[in-house]
Homo-oligomer: A and B are copies of this chain.
Amino acid sequence: MAQTDTVTRILDTAEVLFAERGFAETSLRNITGKAKVNLAAVNYHFGSKKALIQAVFARYLDPFSERFHNAIDELEATYGEKVIPLEVLLETMARTVLEVPAERHSLKVFMRLLGLAYSQAQGHLRRYIQEQYGTVFTRFVELVRQATPELPDAERFWRLHFVLGTVIFTFSGLDALRDISEKDYGEHVSVRNLVKRLRPVVVAAMQAPLPDLDGQDTDKTVTVLTGAG
């Protein structure tokens, strides 16, 4: 058994189990058992369970980070001094996200891991991702800023997280949602199909009219909402 084989086998098994059950709910014995490697192999090759978790993320985020930087480089070279349209930025992000796991594993696992990174506020993980891949996200946000000059900075910040929530939540719970969709509406949705459904919704969300933040909401009447129809 080659040296890399054990490492790869652990990573392959771990990412699936993590995505299915979460980090705390997945024991090393569970991983090593399913991967048919020795229990001590995890601590030998990775050092600790925390380090294994980070390694699982790195295997997705490293290629993503590199590809996305390259994609943005190309865009900037193409558009020169001109502002890159929001739709192009979103499309580039989507394409990069879709490309990375396509090579090896499923997008679902990747998204589910991202969702876990947020929801299971494992302190070390959030810190690791922020330190390791913060610059990519910062660069993207800056371009989005230039593409949406009409949005106040704070508003853009929140809207980006709104759509991030939509995407992560959707793909993270993909299996369960797909089952319901298939049972109730008889149609099987592919990832590509779902991306197509997401497109107009995400764009509409980013381009929605600005909220009325003045007035200390003295009343909860529904009239406030109707302004967007």
Q: Is A35 engaged at the interface, CB distance under 8 Å to the other chain?
A: no
Q: B212, A208: Cβ atoms under 8 Å?
A: no
Q: Is A73 engaged at the interface, CB distance under 8 Å to the other chain?
A: no
Contacts of A87 in B (CB 8 A): 222, 225-226, 228-229
Q: Which residue on B lies nearest to A21, using beta carbons?
A: B121
Distance A205 CA – B88 CA, assembled complex (angstroms): 19
Contacts of A25 in B (CB 8 A): 24, 120
Q: Which of B95, B180, B200 contacts A211 (CB 8 A)?
A: B200
Copies in the assembly, this chain: 2
Contacts of A169 in B (CB 8 A): 118, 161-162, 164-166, 168-169
Contacts of A197 in B (CB 8 A): 155, 158-159, 211, 213
> With A87-B222, A158-B194, A158-B197 in contact, is A172–B208 under 8 Å at CB?
no
Q: A205, B201: Cβ atoms under 8 Å?
A: yes
